[in-house]
Structure 1
Amino acid sequence: MFLMMAEVLHLAGVAASLPESRLWETLGRHQSHVEWIGCSLHDLIQPSFSFLVGVSLPFSIASRLARGQSRRRLLLHALWRAAVLIALGIFLRSIGDSRTDYTFEDTLTQIGLGYPFLFLLGFRPQRERWIAVAVLLVGTWVAFVLYPAPGPDFDYASVGVPPDWPHLMQGFESHWNKNSNLAWAFDRWFLNLFPRDKPFLYNRGGYATISFVPTLATMTLGLIGGEVLKSGRSARGKVAWLLAAGAISMALGWGLGELHLCPIVKRIWTPSWVLFSGGWCFLFLGAAFGVIDGFGWKAWVFPLTVIGMNSIAAYLMSWLFEGFIGDALTRHLGAEPFRVLGEPYEPLLHGAAVLAVMWALLFWMDRRRLYLKI
């Protein structure tokens, strides 16, 4: 959530103003999504969010069962939560449009579509969860392979992809080319079932609705990790398991990409992306658990805890409040205070001020125990 809110720092903009700086080029690259194949730090935000939904589920289920809630009530709540997440994602994506934008690639919508299935897996043993991950990944891979790859005469320009785009793949990997794959074909049918100002032809970023299927695999990996944290293993055993799972998962995802069996593409959530990003998520979780719970070093993480305790509020702020706060700061303070380090750094300082205000609002909510929950 912090990385998502920190988009307001506009590091890529600073990097563009300082092209000679390798430091700013690196920072800007890792605050931007890769165009298609590969991974940046920014690309790990959505899988981390999805992964942590799975991590929290065993604790949520145990807490509600301890309060005497029935499984039927828990299921109804899970269905309600899924519906709210889907609706909220559509609402946020429709901001600024003249009518509802029925699109389902938003992080909240993707989580909502898979959440009921994740909930049911929450009552199954670990072995069945691993099987579910395997079925989801293999099934997604096979489905993409069976869909015809774009031929040499495919009109990429008609789907918003320049014919000379450097990220177009050849041969077997072309099954996962932008806006010419199974996910794109599904949306050409599915999204046109909803009222639209004009027919849906393609998503400019290549994102797709059915990415929720492999996203469910990411959430299930989190569910498995959450069960490990909840287990009676020693703290050292938990850290070792998570780090080992992370290394193995990352290696598998990387290997699939290197062998040209399945490219690592976040935008359509390829199986190799699930494994590669899931490996990072296991490593992050293991490292955080070891440092915070194992060694007890908790004070440094307080600013992040304020954000994490109100993750839905933080998500909404980044969508709804960022522009309002930014305009207000400029209106009342002017631009000069943000140019004190020079014009290249103006968006950075302005964004830092916006980020500070949003954090202060979350801190105020935390002090008063006001948490947005679904």
Structure 2
Amino acid sequence: MDAYRGFVMTLMAAEMLQFEQLHEAFPASGFWAFLAHHQSHVAWAGCSLHDLIQPSFSFLVGVALPYSMASRAGLGQSPAAQFGRALRRSLILILLGIFLRSTHASQTNFTFEDTLTQIGLGYPFLFLLGKANVRTIWMALAAILVGYWLAFILYPAPGPDFPYAAVGVPADWPEHYSGLMAHFNKNSNLAWAFDTWFLNLFPREKPFLFNGGGYATLSFIPTLGTMLLGLVAGRWLRSGLTQREIVKRFLIAGGVGLAAGLILHISGICPIVKRIWTPAWVLFSGGWCFWLLALFYSLIDVANKRDWAFPLIVVGMNSIAIYCLVHLIDRFIITSLYTHLGQGPFLLLGPAYEQLLVGLVTLGLFYLILRWMYRRKLFIRI
């Protein structure tokens, strides 16, 4: 789990390598085009490697819950005390997400669509299902997916005269759908309508009209579905099954999730859209999460090949720390590098590679900080 978590947190931090700039500098290079694509989010429907960061992080919260609950029970904590801790953790995650989103802002930026707040909003419900039987968990997942899909379908789809320009979407945007899937169009769906009411209940510099990326608060509901998939995976890991059987279950679950998501998308029932966390996205991304967990479990636990994963484990065991470092001091470190070293060292390969070299040095400094914390057993837990 720590290696998988470290992998996704490294992908998040690696945004500062800015492969897109290298793709622009070398447009004929398929190599940089490939890396740039997988370091950015798709425009609406579909998936890149970068799109799997948030679902992986959410999935792993579910995987870790059975271990956490067993540990707390072993310490003699009552169910009520454990739930109180879950509520406290939820509140901290929500507030930390808001704080990090408000960095460099003139006032608190009340927004609830980022990874931490989404997990925080759903975590108490995940905890309540933590000791439920497997049948109840699958029923809860089905209720979330069907209910969320139905809620979007019942909300009126945008008509031909819908003012897309007013919500930051070109009227001729190629990602627009018609028919049943039009109910999931960007900034004209149920989740967008909810936020135009909900987010304006908080103090803002100007009224909230839309999110530029189409992200939404209500995505925490299907994100809970992603965490439930992780909860099932965590149960399997602790069930006493053989390693071979665990890997088999991960692979089957992953295949079913990927196939189900694709069928929903291709059939026109529900698009695979990460930004509003559609039910098809829960299944599709959940399938990838099962397969990635199977990969790391097979290499580290089954094949006992651990040495290669040590740097990822260092990052994964302090995931909150690296998340905060990236959001709080990345610009400070980069500015300091230029202040003390000048621009010269980062131009050794030419101007096109400047941001890549700056990013690599910054990532290296982040890793040294995390390695120092690891050696001294300093782990930030929420």
Give the TM-score, by structure 1 length: 0.99
Whole-Å separation in 2 of the counterparts to 1:357 and 1:5: 12
The yes-or-no answer on 1:316 pairing with 2:344 is no
For residues 274-310 of structure 1, give each alpha carbon's deviation from its aligned partner in whole angstroms, at most 9, with x where no partner exists.
0000000000001111110001000000000000000
How many equivalent residue pairs? 374
The 5 A counterparts of 1:58-207 are 58-207=66-215
Whole-Å separation in 2 of the counterparts to 1:324 and 1:41: 28
Give the AA of the match of 2:293. L
For residues 29-70 of structure 1, give each alpha carbon's deviation from its aligned partner in whole angstroms, at most 9, with x where no partner exists.
100000101000000000000000000000000011011111
Moved more, 204-213 or 160-169: 160-169
The yes-or-no answer on 1:299 pairing with 2:311 is no
Whole-Å separation in 2 of the counterparts to 1:357 and 1:330: 14
The yes-or-no answer on 1:55 pairing with 2:54 is no
Q: 2:45 aligns with which of 13, 37, 57?
A: 37
The yes-or-no answer on 1:233 pairing with 2:241 is yes
Q: 1:269 aligns with which of 274, 277, 292?
A: 277
For residues 73-106 of structure 1, give each alpha carbon's deviation from its aligned partner in whole angstroms, at most 9, with x where no partner exists.
1000000000000000011111111111111001
The yes-or-no answer on 1:210 pairing with 2:253 is no
2:283 partner SS: helix
Which protein, 1 or 2, shows the higher relative CO under an 8 Å CA cutoff with sep ≥ 6? 2
1:297 partner SS: coil
Whole-Å separation in 1 of the counterparts to 2:375 and 2:106: 38
Aligned-residue Cα RMSD (Å) equals: 0.6
What stretches of structure 2 of length at least 5 have no aligned partner?
Answer: 1-8
What stretches of structure 1 of length at least 5 have no aligned partner?
Answer: none
1:165 CA displacement: 1.3
Give the TM-score, by structure 2 length: 0.97
Identity of aligned residues (%): 58
Show the counterpart of 2:264: 256
Q: 1:223 aligns with which of 227, 231, 234?
A: 231
For residues 182-235 of structure 1, give each alpha carbon's deviation from its aligned partner in whole angstroms, at most 9, with x where no partner exists.
000000111111111111110011000000000000000000001001111001
Whole-Å separation in 2 of the counterparts to 1:173 and 1:75: 38
Give the AA of the match of 2:32. W
Whole-Å separation in 1 of the counterparts to 2:308 and 2:114: 31
